[in-house]
Amino acid sequence: MLPSELLVVRRRGETIRPVFMDADSQHLGLVNRLLGLFEEHVGQSREALTRAVREVETSWTDYRQVRGLAHLIERRCEFAVRAAVEPRRAREELFTAAASKAIPTTDEERTEIVAEVAARLGVQPEDLEASLYADLQDAQVLVRTRTVTAEELLKEYNVGLTQTLLFQCVRFSFTQCEDWKRMFRLTKRLGLMYEVTREGGEYWTHVDGPLTATRLTRRYGTRLARLLPHIVRAPEWELRATVLDRAGGSRERVMVLDSRHHGRYLGSGVGHTVLFDSEVERDFAQRFGSASTGWKLIREPSPLPVAGSVMLPDFAFERFGHRVYMEIVGFWTQEYLSRKLHKLSGLRGVDMLVAVDRTHACSAVEALRDTVRVFYYSGKVPLRPVISWLKEKEQALVEGQLQHLEEVGMALTGTVVTIGELATENGVLEGVMQQYLRAHMPEGYALLGDLLIDEDRLAEVRELLASALDDGRRTLAEVGRTMPSDIAAHLVTVIEHLGYSIEWGSLDPDEAIVRPPQRDTGTP
C-alpha cells in the first residue's frame, strides 16, 4: 500500500481507476535510476537520500509517482543509528554537565563543556557532537538494501496504488477462475464481512468496504487491501468497487478492473509481500516471535470442522506434535459476532484460545468458557495469558511423556548416542529424556554431558588414547584417525572426559595438540 497523499487516479464520468505505470523503457529507466540512487547512498544519512530523491522528482512529470516508488524501495532498506556515543547518553551527559555550571552563553564556553565531556567519555569532541541527535530519523544511516528488479517494483507499485484506492471503497466485489474455495477461506480468515452469490457460472464475493464499517476503518481497510494480490494472481479475474471519491467532490464512482485489460500491470509475484500489515495479528505475531517460547507460530493453520462448516483460526501454536489454536475476535458487527460465537461454541476436542476485544465483553462471550479459554484485550493482544496457557500445555505434555517412559521403558540402541537422538527415537522431548535418565540411567552406560556412551566403548577409547600418545605428542586429527567411527563426532567431549587436555593453536585439528592427564608426582 501507499500513503493516501501519493494516490494517482484518473476520473472519467462516473468511473475512476488508478494511473498504472507500464513496464516500458521510460518507467523502467525511472525505477532503475531510483534503485541505483539507493545503492549509492548506502552509508549515508536518510536526509541525504531524501534530498537525492527530491532532485529526481523535479525531472519527472508527477512527483507522486517518484515518491511512491521511493517509498516502496525504502521499505526494503535497513537504517541504523551510527554514533560514537549512544545519543541519549550523549545528551544526558552534556546537559548534566552544562546544568552543573553557569549556562554557557558563548561558543567558547560551549566548546569547553563539549571537550570536557568528550574527554570523560573517551571520544573526540566532534564525534560527541555528531552523536547528539544521531537517533533522529533524518540522521539515521542507510546500511543495507534488499534486491528487487525494476519489473517487480513496478507491479508492486501498481498493486499498492489499487490497494490505496480500495481504502475509499464502500463495496467491493470480485470473481476469478482459480481455486475459488481458497479465496473464500482467505476472505473469511481476513475477517472481512462478505456474502457470496452465483451469477451464471461464476461465483462473486461481495465484501463490505472500509467506509461501511462503523469504526476502525483503517484496520479493516488494511485487511481488504491484503486480499487484492491474491485475486490478481489468478490467470483470469475481475473486480468492481464503489469508491467514495472525496478528492473529486465526495461522490461515488465505480472502479472496474479485469485481467484482460489490466493484468499486465498487476500480474503475479507480489502477493507474498503483503501477507502482514500494521494490525493486531501482525503485531501479535512479531511480539510472540521475539518471546522465545519454543512454540512454533503458524499463520493460516488448516481449517477446523465445526457444526457442518469449517472455522479458520487466526493462529496455531505447535510443539511436540501438539497444536493449540487462537482466534482473535475484534471489530465485528453484532450479526457477524453472533455467527463467530456460534462456531466457537461448537468446537469439540480442540485446544482453543480466544482473545476478545473488551468492547465485546458480554454474556455470550462468557458462555464460551465451557468450550474454549477466553481472555480480553484492549488495543494489543497481550502475550502473558497466551504464554501462560502454552506453559500449562507444555507441562502437561512433559508429565505425560515422563509417565509414558515410566510405563513402557526406554528404547536404547547403539554404543554412542546423544540425548537428542535418544529423545527422537523414543518420541519425547530432550528435557524429558534428561529428567528420565537422572532417575533411570541404563546399566553399563555413562553420561558425558549430552552424550550417552557404552562403558566398554569408553574403556576401549581410553586404551586407544594411551596407545596413540605412548610414543610422543599427537595432534587431534591424528588421534581422531585411531578412533572408532562412532566416536569421531564426539571426540573432544570423550577425550576431555577421560582427563586429556587439548592445546588449541587454532581451530584446525591438525594444529591442536592432545596431551595426557597430569600425573601426581607427590611431594618432592
State the cell numbers at 19: 494511473
State the cell numbers at 364: 455470550
Mean pLDDT computed over 464-491? 83
> Residue 481 — very low, low, confident or very high, per pLDDT cuts 50/70/90?
confident
Buried b (16+ CB within 10 A) or exposed e, 320-359: beebbbbbbbbbbeeebbeebbebbbebeebbbbbbbbee
pLDDT tens per residue, range 93-139 = 888 888 877 677 788 888 888 888 888 888 898 888 888 888 888 88
Return the C-alpha torsion angle 283, 285, 289, 294, nearest 10: 140
State the cell numbers at 353: 484460545
> Residue 31 — very low, low, confident or very high, per pLDDT cuts 50/70/90?
very high
CA distance 350 to 339: 19
- What was the pLDDT predicted at 223? 85
The 3-state DSSP class for residue 44 equals: coil
Our CA angle for 149, 174, 68, nearest 5°, is 35
pLDDT tens per residue, range 173-192 = 998 766 565 777 788 778 88
State the cell numbers at 316: 496455531
For the cut 80, the answer to whether the pLDDT of residue 249 exceeds it is no
Q: Does domain 280-392 have CATH number 3.40.1190.20?
A: no
CA distance 357 to 348: 23
Closest CA to 406 of 437, 429, 430: 437
Q: Which of 47-61, 301-315, 324-338 has the lowest mean pLDDT?
A: 301-315
* Contact (CB, 8 A) for 466 and 483: no
HSE of 10, CA atoms in CB hemisphere, 13 A: 7
- What was the pLDDT predicted at 520? 54
CA distance 315 to 340: 16
Closest CA to 275 of 252, 303, 300: 300
> Residue 35 — very low, low, confident or very high, per pLDDT cuts 50/70/90?
very high
DSSP character string of 436-488: HHHH-PPTTEEEETTEEEEHHHHHHHHHHHHHHTTTS-EEHHHHHTTS-HHHH
- Domain ranges, ordered by start, for the chain: 4-23+148-274, 87-133, 280-392, 409-524
CA Rg, the chain, in Å? 32
Q: Which of 52-66, 225-239, 279-293, 353-367 has the lowest mean pLDDT?
A: 353-367
Q: Which residue has the higher pLDDT, 330 or 408?
A: 408
- What was the pLDDT predicted at 181? 57
CA distance 306 to 303: 9
pLDDT tens per residue, range 318-361 = 987 788 998 887 755 566 667 677 777 777 778 888 888 887 66
Amino acid at 476: L
For the cut 60, the answer to whether the pLDDT of residue 521 exceeds it is no
> pTM of whole model > 0.75?
no
